[in-house]
Amino acid sequence: MQLVHKRNQQKQSRQVLRKSTARGPGGHRTRTGDQMQPNVAGSDGLEGCSGCGIEDQACTERRAGGLVGDIYPDSSPLRKFKIYSLEMQGKFIQRDLPNIWKQTFFQPQGPAFFLALLRVGSHPKDTFMNMKAFAPRGDSTLSVRCGAAVPAAQSPTLRLRPLRPGRRAPETVPASPQRAPEPARVPASPRGVWAAERRREQRGTSAPRPSGDGLPAAFQVKVPQPPAHLPFQARARSRLIPVPHRPEGSLPGSLLDPLRVLSVVIHRHLLRRALGTLLLFLPPLLGVCPSPPMEESQGVGAEKALLLPVTESFPNLVDNEVGSGTAPVAQDPGWTRVERRDPPESPCLSWRRVLCIFFLPFISSGFAPRVKHRDNFVFENDQLKPDQRSFNWSHLTPLKLKDRSVGLQTEERAGRNPYFTLEGHEFLIFGGSIHYFRVPRVYWRDRLLKLRACGFNTVTTYVPWNLHEPERGRFDFSGNLDLEAFVLLATEVGLWVILRPGPYICSEMDLGGLPSRLLQDPASQLRTTNHSFVEAISKYFNRLIARVVPLQYRKGGPVIAVQVENEYGSFYKDKAYMPYLHQALLRRGIVELLLTPDNADAVARGHIKGVLATINIKTFNEDSLKHLYKVQSNKPILIMEYWVGWFDTWGNEHMVRNAEEIKSSVSEFIRLGISFNVYMFHGGTNFGFMNGATHIDRHRGVVTSYDYDALLTEAGDYTDKYFKLQELFKYILVTPLPLLPEPIPKTVYPSVDPSLYLPLWDALQYLNRPVISNIPLNMENLPINNGNGQSYGLVLYETTICSGGRLHADARDMAQVFLNETSLGILADGFQNIDIPKITECQLLRILVENQGRISFSWKIQNQQKGLIGPVTLNNIPLQSFTIYSLELKMSFFERLRSVSWKPVLTYSLGPAFYLGTLKAGSSPQDTFLTLPGWDYGFVFINGHNLGRYWNIGPQETLYLPGAWLQPGDNEIIVFEKKKRGPYIHTTDNPRW
């Protein structure tokens, strides 16, 4: 019956509720005339209640809290609610909330709990909490009014520094029983405090309210003294940072608050450590000095520390701030009043401020983020794949870009990696290396057109000092060395130019492109600020840079960047050398972007302040750039040399690289927005004696071919690498690529039978006048070529001996020893002794020394003199009176040989000797390759042009013969064989390795 009666009552209540509902705005049903109000007035907490003491059904419904009745969004009531009860009991505050506290920034939305600590000292007493202007924002404050009136300027303030997200608040340890008295415990629930206050007001036992700021009664809260028998156990729910009182003339708190909030934001989202730490130190540095510690004599409510010990701390949901003066609070038996005395102002120059200033550099540097290359590039998923990117540089070509002012620049923008711009347009450098001095001039256009047709937009080239200034003051910029013609031809093709003028260029050239005459003075130090070396550079740059200046971008030319020296970080003997070259270029009118290239691990030593640092690499991975980031993190990346192959040396295997690996790396460059230069796009040939050498286990000369396993072969033919990169560029370039130039045809000519020969001993009379010296002179110090010595070729030393014995000589690089015309043996790297047989009369000792190429890299370039170095001894007795012949084998020498009576070739002939034959090229000469089976070691000359060195130890088996060096009909071919001749000279249309 009770259950039925209860159901009837609920049914009647719902009927009354439906009658009192009406259609509100938007079609929603709302309660009319019976809306819920907060329980803030009336004897029972109901607004409008008369207090008659008679409870009818209406009173019952009005007394109900929460939502009364159904909710009608439309014509049907809502069902299935989730209802949470927030009773705000101490158990909820003490145990549950600490696990979910979050940081508070700026203006959080919605109802929320705000956590702080109230420090009450060792003797808690009554006080009031001022909720004036409290709003849900991260820098809000609550005030605790002390019993006595205190001026606002002397009120210490504690500001909130919230915990980081996901970090639980630390728990404190229960107080030690020996410590007494226990600190005051503030009720955890503000609602309970307000209810207690209302009950005391109803009983008439509450103390009079202070006259303060006239706050509403609901926001004036007492803090009661907890019973002594209750255990004290508190949780710390936040970390507090002190903002001490402000002396006159210092910054106001309104300015310090944003500084502290900004420091937290920066600490978390931007620099995370360094700048955030700096801003946290700003308040004391800007004149806000912490108050000195208070003594017990200064007041029973004195503050003890920033984070109080367990026995002196208690968590609360409010900050504390001493506001303006308040009226005294009446003493009540159940309450304790807090009397707080503020400490005197401390001087600005406090010991804390001094410590802040002193330790700031160390703390900031310790918090600085570690250098990680992945932080500078987005290696992950937000970069587009190469086939998802598109570039349109059709308007950024030398012929179309007429209005020029800024050239190639570097820029950086928030949220992305630094990048290059050309005339303000974003630009990636797709470069390829072609050395004009290694390619016959008639083929320059062909090689540049193929570079453009592949998708590249820039050509890079070295400038060899030793070829352009073969003698002091005599410069050669003609024919195959016409630098200006090559650069202007790049303009016609539509390519930009990055010029690499040295003075040192490496490039696997003899002495790295430096003139060998610089080795004449033993005191001269190459690649340093040594006076003689700098003087030679100055004279060379005066002539060279004067030709380069009009070719610069801002002068209407195609040169967008100029390199300063080359890979100096791997040499690094003089830290003043690179800055000197930098200024030397600027003083002579170079205004375009300057750069330095270095191997990845040497970039820290080779870069110059104010000059773009670039790197050279063979394989690309995330570690390739870590050294570059240490010296330059705010500039775009340029891989100045991406080695798609490698050079070959005599006696080693031919070097090749996989085409797919090259394509993969270039794809990664493009994906990451990295500019690059392919070294080599087309290598060409080390015609003549220009090749350099290496010295790892022993001296090894670089082979004649500079094929480099590049995108184009030595003869300019397409390779698999070329087509793979072209296919890649097609997907990313908006405009179609130019048509591919037709391959240059190759042919096979009839074999050549050299029927005439001339022994070296018979040809000596057609050489230049020999040098007579009491001691052997090295090649560089021979008094020939207007005092410039001999750079390349061979040197023959003759002297007379009258006995046999042990001959000792330091010959570089390889020497053949003859007694009259009979070969005795070879002196080479590591072998400096040879036995001379007993003789009955005086004989002619001949030593033929060949320069196989000076080292082009490392510190050893300083000691690359060639020929005989030092004295020659026989049985430890120095030999004297030498006749020295210079065999530079220049074209003038072969012109003189045309008037010589050659001898018929014998069935079995030994060298050294010159062999003469005729190559019949027909009416239309074309490119071909020479192969010399059965021949041992020597050089080939076509119509006076030195094709280079051949050697049967490999890996190179053919010599490239450009059709441009042939003439229709008969062509003179001369072979200088040092040991043993072969039967024929054959031609082929394909190179062999």
| Residues tagged active-site | 567, 641
E strand spans, 397-503:
408-411, 419-422, 425-427, 430-434, 458-462, 496-500
What does the alpha-carbon distance between residue 355 and residue 367 come to, in Å, rounded to a whole number? Answer: 17
Return the ∠ at Cα 845 (arms to 842 and 847), rounded to 5°: 175
Residues 6+ apart with CB under 8 A from 821: 759, 761
What does the alpha-carbon distance between residue 430 and residue 639 come to, in Å, rounded to a whole number? Answer: 10
Residue with tokens 């170079």: 590
Token code pair at residue 760: 């070296």
Token code pair at residue 777: 């002179």
Q: Where are the alpha helices (DSSP H) in 496-625?
A: 531-548, 577-587, 603-606
Sheet containing strand 873-874, strands side by side: 833-836, 805-808, 873-874, 877-878
What does the alpha-carbon distance between residue 125 and residue 225 come to, in Å, rounded to a whole number? Answer: 7
What does the alpha-carbon distance between residue 485 and residue 500 come to, in Å, rounded to a whole number? Answer: 16
What does the alpha-carbon distance between residue 263 and residue 138 come to, in Å, rounded to a whole number? Answer: 13
Token code pair at residue 731: 């997907």
- Which pairs with CB-CB distance under 8 Å and at least 24 residues apart come from 524-527? 525/573, 525/574, 525/862, 526/861, 526/862, 527/565, 527/568, 527/571, 527/573, 527/574, 527/577, 527/861
Token code pair at residue 554: 């801002």
- Strands 638-643, 612-617: pairing kind: parallel
Exposure b/e, 15-37, CB count within 10 A at least 16 = b:
eeeeeeeeeeeeeebebeeeeee
Q: Let me know: does 346 contact 290? Beta carbons within 8 Å.
A: yes
Q: Let me know: does 655 contact 662? Beta carbons within 8 Å.
A: no
What does the alpha-carbon distance between residue 945 and residue 480 come to, in Å, rounded to a whole number? Answer: 12
- Residues facing residue 333 across a β-bridge: none
Return the ∠ at Cα 957 (arms to 952 and 960), rounded to 5°: 130
Instruction: Give the residue among 433, 253, 245 at the shortest CA–CA distance from 342.
Output: 245
DSSP 283: H
What does the alpha-carbon distance between residue 192 and residue 655 come to, in Å, rounded to a whole number? Answer: 86
- The region that residue 651 occupies, defined by phi over 0 for left and psi between -120 and 50 for alpha, beta otherwise, is left
E strand spans, 282-363:
315-316
Residues 6+ apart with CB under 8 A from 36: 65, 66, 67, 68
Q: Give the burial class of 563: count Cβ atoms within 10 A of its Cβ; 0-12 exposed, 13-18 middle, 19 or more buried.
A: buried
Instruction: Give the residue among 29, 46, 30 at the shortest CA–CA distance from 38.
Output: 46
DSSP 95: I
Q: Let me know: does 881 contact 774? Beta carbons within 8 Å.
A: yes
